[in-house]
Structure 1
Amino acid sequence: MSSKTYTATAVIAHAAGDLRVETIEVPMPATEQAQVAIAYGGICGSDLHYFSHGAAGESILKAPMVLGHEIVGTITVAAADGTGPPVGAKVAVHPGTPGGTGARYPLERPNLSPGCTYLGSAARFPHTEGAFATRVNLPARMLRELPAGLSLRDAALAEPAAVAWHAVSRAGEVAGKRVLVIGAGPIGALAVAVLKRAGAAEIIAVDMFDKPLRIAAAAGATATLKADDTESIAAVQADVVIEASGNHRGLASAVRGAMRAGRIVMVGLLPSGEQPALISLAITRELELIGSFRFNDEIDQVLGALADGSLDLGGIVTHEFDVHDALEAFTTARDSATSGKVLLRF
């Protein structure tokens, strides 16, 4: 195999507030890897945490790291072992690698494996490099060839939409039900779109700001409420609540807004450590509090639904920036009052 290396433009977090667009070397891929020319990358909340704080929860930057795991692109070098898509194929990426031993978990739910790694994560050292670069090498098993007719731009939200799809699946049957979505940021808005496709009769979105609520309404919310209107939220009495704010106040609103015996799916990741919660109400109302973390194979269902038009994600992307303007892109994405999902163009 050729030892040829390529150069790529990458977005690298060095420390809190220190984000740089730099040139990196990309070697020829290993036997089980393909090389991908990245077209679009979506800025995720974890990327923003590394940018703003130098850490995402307990995952602390100890060395410069390429960010990014929400990516789509085109195969430029196919995997030499014959696995994966051919050169020229347009692909989305499943950024997780299950693994690890010790903690028990259901084998059919590899997202819960104790050693699961994700592209662009500082959870381990050396860090797992991300894919915000014009050219990257990725394991062929991560690659999902796009269905015919689905463009890279339209597939750019496949990864975060899979997170929302997994969360909605954790809620059980939602057709004909009243659903409350707390937090109308990108994951909340994507959950609204997935809920609409799944046949929810009412979808009430809650947020602090007008812009996310407008995005949620365009995605399929039948009503919107401001986060400080606690009386109206409590009056919703939803069959199902999707908590996507990642804030203990949002979780409190979820508990208050659920009907008795309702189900609350917690997809917004709260800070580590103890958090205040209305546990007494959860007990006396027999509420079901259910966690939702990343996803498994839901990205395949998302791609199919995008291709057949049954999942409409129009309006959720509010900004696109060239990779060289990554700092402006991250600054924009950090302001949830004025932006939804922000994409980088590579």
Structure 2
Amino acid sequence: MKSVTVTGPDRIEWVEVDEPEVGPRDVLLQIKACGICGSDAMYAHMGGIPPRQGATPLGHEPAAEVVAMGEDAVGVAIGDHVVIDTMRFTDGLLGSGGAQGALTPFVVVKDNEPGVQLRVIPKELPWHVAALNEPMAVAHHAVNRSDAKAGDRAVVFGAGPIGLGATISLKAAGVAHVVVVDVQPSRLEIALEVGADAVIDSSSEDVSARLIELHGNAPEAFGNEGRPATDVFIDAAGVASVIETVLATAKHGAVLTIPAVHKRPVEVDFGAILMQELDIRMSMGYPTEIFEVTDAIIANADKYAKIVSHTLPFDQALEALELASTPGAANKVVVVFE
């Protein structure tokens, strides 16, 4: 069968691999959809992911159907539709340096443990929406890391998939007012459709001034003069200008959570922000959130579906990767299997 594989620096190719064998405690999955992540392009640029040597299979945002099981396998049934914890495979991270990737027709879950690698989903949930489970868990973890709570005011920088997912999770947490900041009007329109209370086009608007209009002035405190009353900042954009804006804008005691991957160093003057007591938190992956977010996707499938901008068939997976890596060309690209 064909597998989309990193074969060298900046080189992704189709590679023929054997169909997986099913051991006594294994579960065989037929991949039905797999999202393209920004990290796929990063893996390709690196020429693969250590410690794996040589070719690195891609695809870590899958949804699948159970098509075979070993005689001792339990926890799922043939015909079940499932989402997958790609970080809990025993042969390495699925699509992120492990032995297998989900941009291929079949994947085997070795030594399946009930409730660990797989979560059964309703069969009426569209495959391309189910494939959002992994990135939405990343977004949900960022919200959890922020400790956003009912009544807070928040701003999300970046209206890509993670930013949009964080917006949905913030509103689900009861956050009173969520603003999304981006430079693309089409993305800002989607942000409003998924639940943002307001949007800011930072290419033409003063972010700090608009936040004061939307969230009011911060209460009187040392260092709060002329700053908005925003409680939570989430950087889902990964550009230095976002950090500069937050440092110049955040009130005393605000929280900045960063799930974005910054590809270049960002200069921070800690002396200048000392009196703000700004709480800076990094956010990586989904330690507990991979199946926490599944119920939200099931309950709000139409809203999450708006995050997907393109679906391409499996035989166009290389084109899907190129589309997803082209700045401004797409939001979430999902490969679907016929």
TM-score relative to the length of structure 2: 0.84
Q: Which amino acid in the other structure matches residue 329 of structure 2?
A: T
**8 A contact 1:94–1:159 mirrored in 2:** yes
**Of Structure 1 and Structure 2, which has the larger fraction of its residues in strand?**
1
Q: Which amino acid in the other structure matches residue 299 of structure 1?
A: I
Q: Report the CA distance between 1:97 and its aligned residue.
A: 3.1
Q: Which amino acid in the other structure matches residue 44 of structure 1?
A: C
Aligned partner of 1:338 among 329, 333, 336: 329
Q: Which runs of 5+ in 2 are unaligned?
A: 212-227
Q: Report the CA distance between 1:176 and its aligned residue.
A: 2.1
Q: Which amino acid in the other structure matches residue 28 of structure 2?
A: Q
Q: Which residue of 2 aligns with 1:220?
A: 195
Q: Does 1:86 align with 2:57?
A: no
List per-residue Cα deviations over 1:273-294 (Å, max 9, x = no partner).
x531243344221111111111
Q: Report the CA distance between 1:310 and its aligned residue.
A: 8.3
Q: Which residue of 2 aligns with 1:112?
A: none
**8 A contact 1:205–1:216 mirrored in 2:** yes
Provide the rounded CA distance (Å) in 1 between the counterparts of 2:329 and 2:263: 23
Q: Which residue of 2 aligns with 1:152?
A: 127
**8 A contact 2:183–2:203 mirrored in 1:** yes
In the TM superposition, what are the counterparts of 1:290-305 in structure 2 within 5 Å? 290-305=281-296
Q: Report the CA distance between 1:98 and its aligned residue.
A: 8.9
List per-residue Cα deviations over 1:30-82 (Å, max 9, x = no partner).
333211000000001111212345357xx587411110110001001124333
Provide the rounded CA distance (Å) in 1 between the counterparts of 2:289 and 2:259: 15
Aligned partner of 2:259 among 267, 277, 280: 267
Q: Report the CA distance between 1:214 and its aligned residue.
A: 2.5
**Structure 2 SS opposite 1:173:** coil
Q: Which amino acid in the other structure matches residue 61 of structure 2?
A: E
**8 A contact 1:37–1:73 mirrored in 2:** yes
**Structure 1 SS opposite 2:129:** coil
Aligned partner of 1:309 among 275, 283, 300: 300
Q: Which residue of 2 aligns with 1:38?
A: 31
**Structure 2 SS opposite 1:307:** helix
**8 A contact 1:50–1:61 mirrored in 2:** no
Larger Rg over CA atoms: 2
**How many percent of aligned residue pairs carry the same amino acid?**
28
**Structure 2 SS opposite 1:324:** helix
Distance 1:214 1:278, change over 3 A: farther
Q: Which amino acid in the other structure matches residue 252 of structure 2?
A: R
Q: Report the CA distance between 1:271 and its aligned residue.
A: 3.3
Q: Report the CA distance between 1:128 and its aligned residue.
A: 4.1
Distance 1:235 1:214, change over 3 A: closer
TM-score relative to the length of structure 1: 0.82
Provide the rounded CA distance (Å) in 1 between the counterparts of 2:328 and 2:40: 18
**8 A contact 1:182–1:250 mirrored in 2:** yes
Provide the rounded CA distance (Å) in 1 between the counterparts of 2:133 and 2:242: 25
Displaced runs of 4 or more, over 6 A: none
Q: Which residue of 2 aligns with 1:326?
A: 317
Q: Report the CA distance between 1:186 and its aligned residue.
A: 1.2
Task: Say what the alpha-carbon RMSD is for the aligned residues.
Answer: 2.6
List per-residue Cα deviations over 1:66-113 (Å, max 9, x = no partner).
1011000100112433333111110000111399xxxxxxxxxxxxxx
In the TM superposition, what are the counterparts of 1:117-156 in structure 2 within 5 Å? 118-122=93-97, 127-139=98-110, 140=112, 141-147=116-122, 149-156=124-131
**8 A contact 1:182–1:253 mirrored in 2:** no
Q: Which residue of 1 aligns with 2:216?
A: none
Q: Which amino acid in the other structure matches residue 129 of structure 1?
A: Q
